[in-house]
Structure formats: C-alpha cells, structure tokens
Structure 1
Amino acid sequence: MFTRGMSGRGAVATALAGGTLLASSGAAQAATLDDYEITGVQFVNEDCSRNEYAVTTSVTGTVDDGGGFDRFRVEVWDDGVLKDSRDREVEVGTSRDIYSFLSFVGLYGTGAPGVGIVIDDIDGAGNSVGTLAYEDPFYPEDVDGPCSFDIERIGGETRLETAAMLSAQKFVSADTVIIATSRTYPDALAAAPWAAQLGAPLLLSNPTGLSAATTAELARLQPSSVIVIGGEAALGEGVLDDVAATLPGALVERVGGASRYETSAMIAGQVLQDSTAEVYVASGQGFADALVLSALAARHQAPLVLVRQDDIPSASAAVLATLDFDHLYAAGGPMVLSDAVLTDAADGVPVTRYAGADRYGTAAQVLEQFPAEGRVMVATGADFPDSLTSVPVAARTGAGVALTRPDSVPAAVMTQIDRLIAEVSFPLITIVGGPVAVNPSVEAQLQTLFSSAAAPASRPSGTLTESNIPTE
C-alpha cells in the first residue's frame, strides 16, 4: 500500500532524495537505493502537455533476480494511471548511477496536482516486491513549448542544425553530451547505445571546429562532461578546444581509435550490458542497416560492433572476445554481412539476422522488434546525417527508427509504423529532417494512419483527486 509523499515543489532543477526513501516491504529481495535525483519539465500549450522526467538513481545490486542482476523499475503516474516506466538492473555486488527517461503526453489541468514518481523493487519476472522510494506530488516546471501528438517535424537547414534542434527539443537537460563528426556515420551509430545509457544527446561537428548551432546548444545544456567520438582524423583538436572554450568547467575527453572499427570497439567496451547478454553486429561499410540496428541495441542496453562484409577487423574481433553474450543480432543480408563473418563473430552462440530485400525491408524487420508504445522516429534512408542524430533520441524515448524514401514510405515500413501507433491515445511520429530530406508527401502519407490510432480521451471535468499513485 502506498501512502502519499510529503515532498515539496521540485521544479525543473531537481528533487534530490526529496521524497520518501523507503526500505522495501520485500526487503529480502530489495536492491539498495542510495540516492536519486528527478528532473522534470512540462511543455504546455492550449492543446496538451508533454511531460518529461529524467530520473538518476544510485543503486547497489543486492539480490540476484536472475543472471547475476538485481532489478528495479522507475514509474511515472498521473491521476492513478501508469503513464510510463523503465525496467532497470544493476549487477549484484556493484553500485551504479543509472539513468531513466520517462515521458507522456496528456491533457493539462486535470486530476491530482503534479505527478507521482515511484521507484519499485521488482523480481526476475517483473513483479513488484516493494517500494524503494516515491514522490507524490512531484511538480515539474511548466514552460511554454512544443506539445504535439500525431506528427511533428524537426529539421534545420543543415545536418548540424538538425542535430542541435533535436537536442534542444528532446533534452531539457543533460549532464553528458556526445559529439561526433558530421562527415561520416560509423562513430555516431556505434555511440548510440552508450549515449542512451548516459542520457546524452548526440551533436555533430565539422572536423576542424564547432558550428554556431552546436556551440549554442552546448551553452544551453551546460553539461559537466563532453565526450568527443573518433580519432583526430574524424575530429581534430580544434573541436576539443572549442568545447573547452564554450564550457570552461566541463570535463572534455576523446574516445576514438585510428579507424571506425577501433572506435566502435572502444565504445562497445564502455556499454554496460544487462542480464540479457546480447551483442549487435552491423556493417561499417553502409549506414542504413547499422542505423536501425543501433536503435534496437540502445533499447536493449547492448553494444553495437562494426565489422566488414567479408571479414572481422582485429579491433572488432578483440572486443567481441571480451564481451559476455549468449545471442548475436545482425542487420542486412549476406551481401552486407556474409554468413562466415556472422559465424565467426558469434563463436557458437545463436544468431538472428534481420534482412529484407532492401534497406527498407530490413528496417521494417528491425522495427517489428519494438513494442507498440506509440513513438516512432522517421528519417530518410537515402542519406545518413539526419537519420543518425535520431538514434539517441529514439533510444531515450523508446522509439523505433523507421527509414523512408524521400518521397514515400515503403509498404512494409508503413505497416510497422501503423502497428506501433495503433490503440495508443497520444501517439507521436517525429519526422527528422527538412522537406528536401523527407518530402511533404511522406507527412501526408503518415497522416492517413491516424484514423486507426486511438482517439485521445476527452478532457474530464470535476474535482481534483488526492494523489496520482493509487493508494490501494
């Protein structure tokens, strides 16, 4: 049974252990929650409100819920309804700061004040066995801003501006920012699962220095840490100098090797795997298959390792040898990744290959692995810059990445987008890129899907309820 928390107004900045920190009622199975921090914001206009909550938890794994990991769940409730949740886990005997992003769209000014944030201990089957902490009400800061359901478009005149716009609209704050080159795709795609774990946006840079758009977004976010991805051939020292000048107090570090394969191997080693022990393998010679697979790897907290069509570079082989995995997933047919390469990479574990007749068929197969949660990012499959910046945002929100032709959505991809938004009251399709990259005809085609989506509930009237979290 929940009781109502007594915390005060948290605002957008944070509520640091400002609610009720509890010993779990199922103490024998409880993870140890040492501390937590909530950042919340609510974008409001006359149509709706878009709520976003970033919850950072300091957790110590105590009891094995399966695979050597202790599990817990972070939830956001509004007016007695569970709006979003994330299952997380920490290896038994270790302590980690774990980031969770929760979001929902709703109707403004109804029901109980604020929202309820719950951190629950769960068992291996996902059942709640006790409450570690809760806040009800937690008050986000109300700000004027975009609140859309159905279709939105985020795109600037350049790839650098699009990346900055995505960050500005989808990241209220970020302690860490990742910067990759705008000229090629492998570094950014390999970094997406790591960015998801860190709650970090991906910004793009020219090889010699930051653009005005990237500099402005860094200045807005004011992160404490900036990770520059790639060796000096990808991003020169001028980029690090520009970051240091923009953020004098931030820690600036480079993670990168002499090749895309060395860089992807270095990043893969940074990703903290969960108990599912999966690894994802994609081609470093073409962006489309790697892009959609990167979003799936990020959702499953698994590393993405780049290989070539007919061989495994030494750096990739070395990191695969150090990773603990019992299933390998790959994207693309044999002309993208040979059977021999996947056999060598798997080293005896089962292999699942997603492969369609073309990049769009493969993208549809990968998209099919995402649950129907109402969130989809749509980007062109003809070029990489806009598409790759969508991956960390997709990972942050749990969305799948759907590739489209510039002028039309392929039928198989359309079918999967329809599945993802059907029966969801406030679905959101985000088109990434301007009208040249993704033509208005695509938006018109996507709009036809909303006849099958669940209609938003009407705005209720009546008195406020006392709490957001159910009391029984």
Structure 2
Amino acid sequence: MPKIHTLRLATLAVAGTAFLTVGAGPALAAGPSGGSVATSDAPAAPLVVGLGFYSGTLHATANLYVYNVDLAKQPTTTYRIDWGDGSEPWTRTGGTVPNGLDIQHDYPHAGLWTVTATVDDGTSTAGKTTSYTAHYPTAPTTPGTTFTPVSGNAPLAGDLSIVNGAVDPAAAKSYVVNWGDGSPLQTVAAAVSGATLVHHIFTTPRSYEVSAVTSDGVDTSLPPTYPTRVGAWGVAFATTVNTSAFATVSITSSAGPALPTYSDYYVYSVNWGDGTTSSLTQSLGMTHQYKSGGSYPVTVTMAPTMDVDRTPAYTWTATSTLAVPTPPPPAPVATGARPVQRIGGDDRIGTGILVSLNAWSSWQNPYPTLDRLPADAVVLARADGFSDALAGVPLAAHVNGPLLLTDGAALPGNVEREIGRVLKPNAGKTVYLLGGPAAVSPAVQQRLGQLGYTVQRYSGSDRFGTALDIARRGLGDPARIVVATGLDYPDALAAGPYASSVLGTAGHEAAVVLSQGGALDPATAGYIGSRLAGSSAGAPAVVTVGGQAGHAVDAAFPALAGHELKLEGSDRFRTAEKVASRFTAVSRIGVATGTGYADALTGGAFAAARHFPIVLTEPAGLDPAAHDTIATFWTQLSRAYLFGGKAALTDQVLHEVDAVLNAMSQP
C-alpha cells in the first residue's frame, strides 16, 4: 500500500517550500524589491496566487505568493487564508508579498486539511485551494500477520491475526488489510490488547498475498517486505444425475498443493440429502443411487485429515440442489449357469456380517462345507475409518477368520451375535482389534472379554505404525511385503487378497505396509529396506501397488530402484486389474465398489481366505478394467461375488458381470 505523503514539489525562492500557482499572465520582470511587476507595454495581468507548505506537522508554515497586484491597488488589496479546521482565518490588507510570505498556524490534531488562499484587489479576485497533511511526529511501523483457515463455506474462510505495529502516542491505531484478491481495502481498529482478528472469505481457490499496514489515521506504515501467502483452497463441485437416478459428484476445485505431513491431506464426504452420507475419501468423484425422485440438497464437506482418532481443525463445505428423476423399476436379475451372488446388507456392518455368514460356518455345525469353513478367530476394525483396517486382510487370512466392522464406541448387537456364531465362547478363541483405543474403544474390548474371548490389539501411534505392528506381531515378520499408500484405500484393497494368496501362502501371508502417499516414514522405510536388497522384479520380496507407493519406495531407496515389483495402473480400477492379473487358477472373483472401502475390506478377507482376487468398479456400471479382468478369467470362473448392497453396486453392475460370465460362452 503506498504511503500517504505530504505534497512536496520543487522549491522556489524559499528553501523547503512547495509552490503551486493558478492563472496565466504576461511576461514578468523583476521589481525593485525582488517582486514581479508587469512590463510597461503589457496590458493589466490577472492576479496569480501560489500557496505551499513546509513539511507537514501540527505547526504549519504556509508559503503565500501573489503576482500581478496593481501597484495602485496594493494598499487596499486583502489577503486571506482559510485553514480548514474551523479556526479564525488569517487576513491582511495592503502591503506586498515579495518572494512569498510565511504564515504560521497550529492545527488541533494531525490530519488532512483543505486550505484556501484568496486575494481580492477590489476589482478582481483570485484564489488557490490545496491540501495540507499534518503528520504525527512518529511514523507508523509495520505489523506482523498470520492467517488461519477456519470453518466456513467454500472455498475458504479464515482469520488474519495482526500483532504489533506502533503509532505515535497521540494517535489512534488501526490496521488496513489488503487481501490480495481485488476486494476493497479493509480498515479495522486495533484491539486494545492482544492480536486483532479480521475475518475474510475468499471467492476463488488460488494463492493470495495478504498484507496489513499500521495506520495512525493520517499515514500508514510501509507494506511488509514478505506478505503473508495464503493458499485459498476449498471445495466446489458439480453434480449430474441420469435417468436411473444414479448421481455423480465431481470435485471441480479443491485442495491446493500437498501439505508437508500425512495428516494434512484433504478428504471429502458427501451428504446426499436423502439420509445417507458417503465415506471419507480422497477420490474427486463420488456416486450414489437414489431410491426415489425428488429435489435433494447435496452437501460436500472437505477436511484436511481422515484420521479416525483426530478431529479436523476446520472443514469446508459447498451445497447444491439436485433434481433427481424417478428411477425406473429394476430389471429382473438374470443369471446363467455361472451365478453372480450379491452379498450386501443394509449398511457396511451388515455387509460384513453377511460376508461372514457366507464364508464361515457356525462353531456348532459339525458338518462344514467347502463354502463355509470353521473360523479360528475374528478380526475387528472400526466401521467409520479405513486407516487401521487397510493392513487387516492378510491378518484375517492368517488367523483364519472373518474381518468384521464395529462401531468404535460400542459393540453392536448384530456384530456380537456373529462373533458368537463363528467362535465358541470361553474356548480360547481370539478377537483381534485393529487400531488404538481411539479407533476401537476399551468398552468394545471389555465387552468381548465378558463374552469369553481373548482380545489382542494391534496398534501404533498412527495408521503406519498399526500396519507395522500387524506385520511384526500379527504376521510374524513375513519375508515378503506389499506397499500401498495409506492416504487412500483403493490400492490397499486390491493388495490384501494378493498379499495373502499370491505373494504369500497360507500360514505365511505377506504383510501390507503403508506409505505416506509418495513418501515413507522412517520406521516403515527401515522395515521395507531390510527386504528390498534381496528383492527383484522377477522374484519380489517387495511389491508396490499403485503409483504413490512405487514413488515412495524409489525415493527412499534410489540406489535400489527397480528391485521391487511394481503393479500400477492408470487409475484405481486399472491398478486392481494389474494386481488381479498375478492370480492363477482362479475359480471365483469378487467385485466391489472403488468409491468406498468397507465392502472391499470385509469381502477382501473372504477373497484372501479362498484365494481369489477382488476387482473394483464404479457403482453405476462395470468399469472397463473390471470387465477385462473377468473376461480374462472367464473360462476358469464358476461364480462371482458382488460385495455390497444396491446403494454400493447397482443391479446394472450385476447384469454386466453376469453377461461377462455367461454370455461370452454363448455361440
């Protein structure tokens, strides 16, 4: 912001003065006293008035110049200066103003004053109006600023904290904020003590330079050398809906550059307006099947963390109204000789229970079948966050039991009953908890003990530590490991059955460990490094699933780049296809949504126990990558499982899977 300066022009006759004139006159010659008079052959010239000031303080010195005063009228010519502060004007009658007259005036306080000089010789009048700035003796100094995002609507709301910055003791201090986004400068009074908070909402997601200066009511401090840089990132989205009432939300502007720590990445959830809310995800596209037509308020929330044991410091929201058509009645489910079986409950906990019912027999059943085998243990993870459960699928295969989901605070009755169905109480059976007490509470652990089960918890200080604890204590430090990002779920979902059934074998399952996106924390890097030197792409001890994990390992071990096997596709669906392609002798295949994690986790434990892959798809229709995978294995396949209810995978997916399994074999 430019500083307000007192008017200072080139001097004339009096050093340090400013000189302003109005009017035009004939050629001038020096008079006897150094003044100027018209030459004898020139007509009468108009009056010319000049008015200037020395440097502005409360004690003002005005410089008055007057030209072309008729010598005959000098005795009656009047001079007047109105100071603009309501005080008595300065006046004078007669006399000359040879090289400028200095007139003194004391202003009541600092400020910008409008001053008018008038000369009247009885025949004509001339004047000059100018401004005078009375400055405080002490100039303002620059304050300090910090910007903190706060809860608010998209794209970004935040508070600027302004501290320090001094003014003259006689002045009232305020701050002038330039938000750097083209909005008007904002002036706020400084707080009596402590920081001054100024709230602002940016309207376009991008980077801004925000600066504040101190004002004493007259002058401002110089702008800061390094303005506060604000990444004004938030959430905005577009919605579409088709004639089948299947809606898609696409994030159109969102988080800016990646923040330095893993806990400060951005995740999204959608409240669809019909009583359902999507899971937290990093995906920029989310889908939903409405059950009835109507107008629905859709709200997208973005937060800078998805840790289940952390509350986001702030969130951003954006809302839009979606007009949903009445969906057509569902087509009859067609199945051929190779059945497509949907295993889906009313919610993710219910789906996990149904998967367990299909995969594991009751401990009371003395005649288990090949499809339903006895379980030796249960793995239990929190239902509303994937972070601790990502590494749990190989553990479930290792301990020979289902992976079930629970409310973090208390054990639901239906989950309690399913555990009681598959595990005999008071028989030395173990329930394994994934994550610390903030993920699965001590109340859940206590209830399991009351039911007659041994409880073993695997946890770390974060999701990466939990995955390492599962690998070390749960899986006995296996020789082979799979690395997938822990900042999102799709890659790890595909990795679980592969780690159990292909890279590992029954009783010697490979572990899934997690990267921080494209980086590794020191403990995970050490765990990977101990195996990487003896690994190769042809005989891998380390396999990376997804581009982020591959980048993380290569960045941590540049000298060993290429020692790992990389399974990476162009997106989550193609990555899952790459993983599935490593399976051989596949008789079954699982299909789960790639836009949610819960069904692929519980279904993945089933797949790991029975040695078949899981492919990921969009909820509305079979993704081409999933189609290609099923088509690759179709001569071997006898059955396909759809993990999740119709809200997760529509009947259209079922029809398309059925078509690949059965129609391809038709002449």
For Structure 1 versus Structure 2, the TM-score category normalised by the shorter chain is: 0.5 to 0.7
Secondary structure, counterpart of 1:386 in structure 2: helix
Q: Which runs of 4+ in 1 moved over 4 A?
A: 321-325, 452-455
Matched, 1:339 2:540: no
Matched, 1:298 2:494: no
Matched, 1:251 2:454: yes
Aligned mates of 1:271, 1:383 — CA distance in 2: 26
1:266-415 maps to which residues of 2 (within 5 A)?
266-269=469-472, 270-272=474-476, 277-299=479-501, 300=504, 301-321=509-529, 326=535, 327=540, 328-333=542-547, 336-337=548-549, 339-344=551-556, 348=560, 350-415=563-628
The Cα offsets for residues 149-181 of structure 1, whole Å up to 9 and x where unpaired, read as 521011111111111111111011312111011
The Cα offsets for residues 264-305 of structure 1, whole Å up to 9 and x where unpaired, read as 00111132477xx43210000010011101221111221111
Aligned mates of 1:233, 1:185 — CA distance in 2: 13
Report which structure shows greater RCO (CA 8 Å, sep ≥6): 1
Number of the residue aligned with 1:104: none
Secondary structure, counterpart of 1:383 in structure 2: coil
Q: CA deviation at 1:347?
A: 7.0
Aligned mates of 1:433, 1:346 — CA distance in 2: 41
Q: CA deviation at 1:212?
A: 1.7
Number of the residue aligned with 2:649: 438
Distance of aligned partners of 1:263 and 1:170 in 2 relative to their CA distance in 1, 3 Å threshold: same
Matched, 1:206 2:419: no
Secondary structure, counterpart of 2:341 in structure 1: strand
Any gaps of 5 or more consecutive residues in structure 1? 1-147, 456-472
Number of the residue aligned with 1:449: 660
Aligned mates of 2:590, 2:475 — CA distance in 1: 23
The Cα offsets for residues 249-270 of structure 1, whole Å up to 9 and x where unpaired, read as x211211112000000011113
Contact 1:171 1:201 (8 Å CA) reproduced: yes
The structure with the larger Rg is 2
1:33-432 maps to which residues of 2 (within 5 A)?
149-172=338-361, 173-223=374-424, 224-245=429-450, 247-248=451-452, 250-269=453-472, 270-272=474-476, 277-299=479-501, 300=504, 301-321=509-529, 326=535, 327=540, 328-333=542-547, 336-337=548-549, 339-344=551-556, 348=560, 350-424=563-637, 427-432=638-643
Any gaps of 5 or more consecutive residues in structure 2? 1-336, 362-373
Letter in 2 for 1:209: A
Number of the residue aligned with 1:35: none
- In proportion to residue count, which structure has more helix? 1
Letter in 2 for 1:256: S
Secondary structure, counterpart of 2:408 in structure 1: coil
The alignment yields a C-alpha RMSD, in angstroms, of 2.2
Residue-pair matches, total: 300
Aligned mates of 1:178, 1:453 — CA distance in 2: 38
Aligned mates of 2:391, 2:559 — CA distance in 1: 21
TM-score (norm 1): 0.60
Contact 1:264 1:316 (8 Å CA) reproduced: no
Distance of aligned partners of 1:282 and 1:228 in 2 relative to their CA distance in 1, 3 Å threshold: same
Distance of aligned partners of 1:441 and 1:221 in 2 relative to their CA distance in 1, 3 Å threshold: same
Contact 1:423 1:453 (8 Å CA) reproduced: no
Contact 2:349 2:405 (8 Å CA) reproduced: yes
Q: CA deviation at 1:371?
A: 1.4
Which sits farther off after the overlay, 437-446 or 302-311?
302-311
Contact 1:422 1:453 (8 Å CA) reproduced: no
Aligned mates of 1:292, 1:317 — CA distance in 2: 22
Aligned mates of 2:576, 2:443 — CA distance in 1: 36
Distance of aligned partners of 1:452 and 1:186 in 2 relative to their CA distance in 1, 3 Å threshold: same
